[in-house]
Amino acid sequence: MDMRSKAYPPLLEGRRMSLVLPRTGDLRFRPQVPAAFKERLFIHSDPRRRFWYNQFQLKRKFIVMSTQGDLYAKTTVSTFTIYDLPQKTMLSMPRVGKGDLVKVLDLVQCSTNDGHKWELVLTRWRNNMETWLALEVVQLFAPNLLQEFYVNSINSWAFHNRVQPGNLTVFRTEVELWLFHQEFQAFYRKLREKQKKLKRPTYSKAS
């Protein structure tokens, strides 16, 4: 397994740990705390699927960092109803053309108790609007953006079978997005300085 795309140990549910989360850049969307995540859950839906959102389970996967600089894979599963959404309803399906979508920011897997399963993709539009679309819509109009995201999320979602040959070397993997993020480069510098100080030998004065 390529070290860039390896799996990281899971952060088990209930394990208490102080985490460092990104506050800037597109990386901040993935590990958002639940309240902030729910506030941005603007979902476009085909009218034939709207009843799926009466009650549905939503799975998220992302990387988090401990205050010791260790990376973990975090999985969360939450239950939502349509009344939990920001506008307490679905957004209508927009017209999408080539070039309208400019960035894939996140992906979630959804399901209902009666067996419906689907995936949603958080997408940035050319006008800087950010909304959730069905994966197949993005696959139709911006497959290149999905390819980039599959690599950008390879350490948590591990969609190895979806990545086209060669793309793993074209785009940054998820761990690389963390390691090259300015916030965490500064954090690592401080962490290394702290560790160096702890390793320095202490000398006692001879009597």
**Domain boundary assignment for the chain:** 7-192
Bigger pLDDT: 12 vs 19: 19
Q: What share of the chain is helix, strand, coil (3-state, %, to 5)?
A: 35, 25, 40
What element of type H or E holds 136? helix 135-141
| Residue 118 to residue 108: CA distance in whole angstroms | 9
pLDDT in tens, 132-167: 999 999 999 999 999 999 999 999 999 999 999 999
pLDDT in tens, 90-114: 999 999 998 999 999 999 999 999 9
Residue 12 scores a pLDDT above 80: no
pLDDT in tens, 13-36: 767 788 888 999 999 999 999 999
| 112-115 own/partner pairs: CB under 8 Å, 24+ apart | 112/52, 112/55, 112/56, 112/57, 113/55
Q: What is the pTM of this model?
A: 0.88
Q: Which two tokens stand for residue 177?
A: 């997005």
| Residue 192 to residue 54: CA distance in whole angstroms | 49
| Residue 197 to residue 33: CA distance in whole angstroms | 33
